[in-house]
Amino acid sequence: MKIIGLGDCCVDYYIHKKTAFPGGNAFNITVYAGENGAETAFLGTVGDDVIGDHILRCAAQKGVDTSHCPIKHGTSGRAAVNIVDGERVFDGGYFQEAHGVGTLYPPMLSKNDLAYVESFDLVHSSCYAHLEGQLKRLDTKRLLVTFDFSEEEKYRTDAYLKEVCPMLDLALFSCAGSSEEQICEFAKKVQGYGCKNVLLTMGRGGQLLVTEEGLFCRGQAKLVEAVDTMGAGDSFFAAFLVKLLELGWRKQAPLREEQVREAFGAASEYAARVCLVEGSFGMGLEIEM
């Protein structure tokens, strides 16, 4: 099983601890997938600063191949965070720069890069990667493509869904606070734009997967007294993907209910364990920022 994350990496800077924890959706997915038994790689722009160096060191320690990552002069992506009762609270005004090098200089895939990405079983990206145009260049006859749309409304417009959904084998949306009726209606809309399978997470309310065959599968969250919820969604999705691949999910093989239910169970267990660790997966760097 080979999974590559295409897109964003950053650090989450915990103001109250003066500690920077590596993260970012696509980067997290590769680390978590590796911890669940997959061979992994990450391809995203990294800064030539101390933060970028730390991200690459952590990747190496986690067994994530970063050999195709472009390194650009400038500030790596970073977000300022406080933790309140185990929940992350972002401070959007803490850092002055609007964007890091990952947003300013997203990777432009060479022929060698394209061949490298296409050698994997699954490529994962997200709305924060700014790589929709690069995904369109991939030959996906064999390659599974997954995508995290997060929770922001600007990534749920008809125009954005119409652009991205036709490329996807599985899309993830965070829908905490929505009713099941709203969620089901939204899933059908996403499939109408061409996405085969749609996974909707509802926080403590669990998960709902709507498959291309019209199957509705519900999962339950495993509740724990969280130390830190950073990475909870990414860890669930990564473990879910690895288990599906392990159980035989491939490009031309529709998802079966027994596969989904087993993957839900494995993913919930793993995500619960991740919530007992600071940051997305620990490995914090003490630094004044």
Residue 88 has pLDDT above 80, yes or no: no
Q: Are 10 and 102 in contact (CB under 8 A)?
A: yes
How much is the average pLDDT of 235-243? 98
pLDDT at 65: 98
Q: Are 147 and 125 in contact (CB under 8 A)?
A: yes
The pair of structure tokens assigned to 30 is: 């590769």
Q: 3-class DSSP state for residue 188? A: helix
Which value, in Å, is the radius of gyration of the alpha carbons in the chain?
Answer: 18
The whole-chain average pLDDT of the chain stands at: 94
Point out the least confidently predicted range of 67-71, 86-90, 111-115, 202-206: 86-90
- Sequence letter at residue 254: P
pLDDT at 136: 97
Residue 35 has pLDDT above 80, yes or no: yes
pLDDT at 92: 80
Closest CA to 76 of 45, 107, 111: 45
CA distances, 154 to each of 100, 115, 132, 182 (Å) = 20, 32, 15, 18
Which residues share a beta bridge with 43?
6
Whole-prediction pTM value?
0.95
More confident residue, 156 or 226: 156
The pair of structure tokens assigned to 175 is: 């829908």
Please state the three-class secondary structure of 121-186 as a single string: CEEEEECCCCCHHHHCCCCCCCCEEEEECCCCHHHCCHHHHHHHHHHCCEEEEECCCCCHHHHHHH
Q: How many CA atoms lie within 13 A of 11 on its CB side?
A: 30
Residue 203 has pLDDT above 90, yes or no: no
Residue 144 has φ and ψ, to the nearest 5°, of -75, 140
Residue 82 has pLDDT above 90, yes or no: no
170/172 Cα distance (integer angstroms): 7
Residue 252 has pLDDT above 70, yes or no: yes
Q: How far is CA 72 from the centre of its chain?
A: 22
How much is the average pLDDT of 132-142? 96
pLDDT level of residue 178 (50, 70, 90 thresholds): confident
Residue 86 has pLDDT above 70, yes or no: no
Q: 3-class DSSP state for residue 277? A: coil
pLDDT at 205: 83
Distance between first and last Cα of the chain = 38
Residue 193 has pLDDT above 90, yes or no: yes
The pair of structure tokens assigned to 278 is: 């600071």
